[in-house]
Homo-oligomer: A and B are copies of this chain.
Amino acid sequence: MMQIISTVAELRLALNNKSNTGFVPTMGNLHAGHIHLVNLAKQHSDCVVVSIFVNPLQFGVNEDLANYPRTLEADCEKLKAAGCDIVFTATVREMYPQMTQTAEGTQLNQSMTIQPPDIANDLCGASRPGHFAGVATVVAKLFNIVHPQTAFFGKKDFQQLFIIRELVKQLNYPIQIIAGETVRETSGLALSSRNGYLSDAKKQQAAQLNQALQTIAQAIQAQNFEFDSLENAAKTKLNAAGWQVDYVTVRSALSLLPATPADRHLVILAAAKIGNTRLIDNIELSL
């Protein structure tokens, strides 16, 4: 019997006697990538908690907070089918009780935040200032509420996963972070809630992002370590195909810093807009 809980106090009560909780934080609009994380959580935990919270703190002023797809009923059906024990569906006010409404809009008044490492200002953070501080802060809050033994994050958001691992390590959270593989369409397109913004035609085209990463991965596996020219070729091709590329870059998977030919564990990451929809993807590569 899946419980749907919307307040921190009730959630704490429900988790009071649980000793092996697995936690999957989400923003809802669940797809097979999320359900894969829930399945992993089922394997590792006696009690699976999934939070559905579109966190305003991680959205920039010109981003898609207002339009972000909210599909609570369908999400709960999927979670029930997947064997989730507790869905936590907090309101913004429940998560940010100090918030105020002014003529200029909602002020969250979250003045105590997590300051992530400099890498949070690179890659997606470069074009989304404050995004990872917002992510780290809400995840820290959720960790303090749920007290999970394990928490599950998708590899599609590789930089987010990296920062959450640092959060846990550097702030001594007694939580094991388990990464879920990216789930993809047959075309290679990584599943994402933001794919819902795409027409069918655009969705077909969107697979080009993963293809660009695959091309680079194949070149590197064929001993081409000219990362700069590989990146530039991919950007040129995507831009020519109508994308607005934010970045395509080869990084060390261990540090997320620009890769050197000495690195054995790489990750190739990209972010680009197709129309108004910003998509990200990445491929890990061990040499």
Taken together as a complex, chains A and B put the C-alpha atoms of A173 and B141 apart, in Å, by 8
CB contact list, A110-164 vs B, under 8 A: 110-118, 133, 136-137, 140-142, 144-145, 147
Copies in the complex: 2
Number of interface residues of A (CB under 8 A): 29
A8 at interface, CB cutoff 8 A: yes
Complex: A14 Cα to B141 Cα, angstroms: 25
Q: Are A114 and B114 in contact (CB under 8 A)?
A: yes
Decide if A78 is an interface residue (CB 8 Å cutoff): no
Q: Does A98 contact B (CB under 8 A)?
A: yes
How far apart sit A114 and B170, CA to CA, in the bound complex (Å)?
11
Query: Is residue A106 within 8 Å, beta carbon to beta carbon, of the partner chain?
Result: no
A133 to chain B: which residues have CB within 8 Å? 115
Q: Give chain B residues whose Cβ lies under 8 Å from the Cβ of A115.
A: 112-115, 133
Q: Does A66 contact B (CB under 8 A)?
A: no
Contact between B141 and A12 (Cβ–Cβ < 8 Å)?
A: no
Q: How far is the CB of A270 from chain B (nearest CB, A)?
A: 25
A118 and B112 contact, CB distance less than 8 A: no
| Chain B residues closer than 8 Å to A116, beta-carbon distance | 111-112
Does A171 lie within 8 Å of B136, measured CB to CB? no
The answer for the CA separation of A116 and B137 in the assembled complex, in Å, is 12
Q: Closest residue of chain B to A140, judged by CB? A: B171
A60 on the B face (CB < 8 A): no
Question: Which residues of B sit under 8 angstroms from A8, Cβ to Cβ?
Answer: 172
Other contacts beyond A144-B174, A145-B172: 16, CB < 8 A: A12-B174, A98-B169, A98-B170, A111-B117, A111-B170, A112-B114, A112-B116, A112-B117, A112-B166, A112-B169, A112-B170, A112-B171, A114-B115, A141-B172, A142-B172, A144-B173
